[in-house]
Amino acid sequence: MKSIGHFIENTFHLKKIGFLFSLFFTNTFICQTPNLGATSNFAIFSAVGAIDNVGASTITGDVGTNVGAFNGFPPGTIDGNIHVADAVSAQAAIDVDLLYSYFVGLSCDSTISSTLGNNQNLVANTYCISTASSLNDTLILDGQNNSNAQFIFKINGALTTSVYSTILLINQAQAKNIFWQVNGLFNLGDNSQFKGTMITDGANSLLTNSSVEGRILSRAGAISLTSNVVFMNFNDSPLPIELLSFSVECQQQKGIVKWSTASESNNDYFTIEKSKDLENWQEIATINGAGNSTSLTNYAFEIENKLNEKSDYYRLKQTDYNGQYSYTEKQFFQFCSDSKINLIVFPNPVKNKLQFRYNENLNELLSITLCPIAGGEGVMIENNANEIDFNEMNSGVYFVNFKFKKSSIIKRIIISK
C-alpha cells in the first residue's frame, strides 16, 4: 500500500491537491512539506514575466522564466542553471500555479494585523492577512526547538518591507519551512534580509542590496533585481551561527570591529568589509570562525584609524564550509578623533527615552542631530538633562550626531516601539 506522502506527491500534478487536502488532510500541513515540484531548484522564477537584473547580484540556484525577457546576467552571476522557455520552465510554470492554489486552499489558524515586524514574535502557524501588508524592522519567528516548525503567511494583497527590515529565526526555525503566498506584488526594501519561499500573483522588486534566503516564485509578474543576494540555504542544519552582537567603535583612539556568537555550526570564516557609499564594498580582513561551538565566542579586529578621513560603513560576511554565506546589517563608523571624548548612550534599542553621558569637562556639546539610516533630512534634538525623548519617533534605525566644539561623535541606535 502506498504511503500518504507518496499519494499526495503523485496527486499534486493532477491538480487535485487543493480538494484532497481540504477533504481528507485538514491541518496536516504542519507535518507535510508542500510539494514544490519543478520549482524546487529555482531561486528566481516567473511563469509569465521578465527577469531583469541591474548590478552585481549573486544568485545561488536556478533562474528562469517561461514567458518573458531575460536580462542582466552578466553583470549578475548565477550558481545554477538558466531556463528560459524550455521544458523545465514549462513544467515549473505549471507547478508554481499548483503551489499557489495549494496555499490559497489552506485554512487559517490565525488572522493577524496587516503590519508585521517591529520585534513581533510568532510561532509556527498558518497566518492570514486580509489586506495589503507591510513588514517593518524585525519579525522574529520562533521554532520552539522544532526544526520542522512550519510558518505560512497568506496575504490578500501586496507585501512591502521597510529598509533594513529583517526576519530573525530563533530556536531552530529554518528558512526552508517558511512560505509566503501573496495575492499581489512584493517589494523588498533596500538592505533588507528576507527569509522563506515567496509565491506571488504579481510583480516582485528586490531593491538595492537586499537579500533573500529562500526563493522568489511568481505565477504572473516580472521579477527585478538590483545588486541582490538570493540563495537557498536549505540543508537540514540550523543556520551556521547565532550572532549576538556586531559593532564598530573607538577604544583608546583605535577603531575596533567587534562581534560575538552564542553558537556556531559549520562556520569557516568571517570577512570584514567596508564601504563609503553602501554600494562598493572592499574586503579588509578575514577571520577564522570557531567551526562548531556551543559556547560564547568573542571576536575583535583593529581597523586603521586615519584622522580627518571621512566615515565608512562596515558589514560582516559569514561563510560556512560549504561556501554558503550571509551578511550582517551595516554599521556606520566615524573615525576616532583626537579629542578623547568618551560618550556612551543607553539603552539601545530604545523605546521612549535615550540617556547619554560624556566627560563634560573636555568639550562643550553644541548640538544633537537625528538622521534615519536610509538618508533624508536631519532633525535637531533638544538636549534636556542628558536624555533624548523619542516618543514621537517611528521605529527604525537612526544615526545620532553629537556635535562638540572640536569634533563630532555619531552613534547608531534602534528605536523599537
Same domain, 299 and 394: no
| Domain assignment of residue 217, yes or no | yes
96-to-76, 90, 144, 253, 399 alpha-carbon distances in Å: 24, 10, 30, 56, 42
Is 50 exceeded by the pLDDT of residue 7? no
Whole-angstrom Cα distance, residue 82 to residue 70? 9
Total domains present in the chain: 3
* Residue 343 C-beta-side C-alpha neighbours within 13 Å: 27
Same domain, 16 and 58: yes
Same domain, 64 and 174: yes
Q: What is the pTM of this model?
A: 0.54
Q: Is 73 exposed, middle or buried (0-12, 13-18, 19+ CB in 10 A)?
A: middle
Residue with the bigger pLDDT between 296 and 136: it is: 136
Per-residue pLDDT of 94-135, as tens digits, reads 999 999 999 999 889 999 999 999 989 999 999 999 999 999
| Domain assignment of residue 338, yes or no | no
Q: Which of 89-103, 160-174, 383-397 has the lowest mean pLDDT?
A: 383-397
Per-residue pLDDT of 397-408, as tens digits, reads 777 877 776 566
Look at residue 405 in the predicted model and tell me its pLDDT. 67
User: Which CATH number covers residue 389?
Assistant: 2.60.40
| Domain assignment of residue 227, yes or no | yes
User: Which CATH number covers residue 251?
Assistant: 2.60.40.10
Domain extent for 409: 343-415
Same domain, 155 and 133: yes
Per-residue pLDDT of 235-262, as tens digits, reads 444 456 777 777 787 776 677 888 888 7
Contact 194, 214 (CB under 8 A): yes
| Domain assignment of residue 209, yes or no | yes
Same domain, 49 and 105: yes
Same domain, 327 and 286: yes
Same domain, 264 and 226: no
Buried b (16+ CB within 10 A) or exposed e, 25-54: eeeebbeeebbbbbbbbbbbbbbbbbbbbe
Per-residue pLDDT of 361-380, as tens digits, reads 555 777 888 877 655 556 77
Is 50 exceeded by the pLDDT of residue 11? no
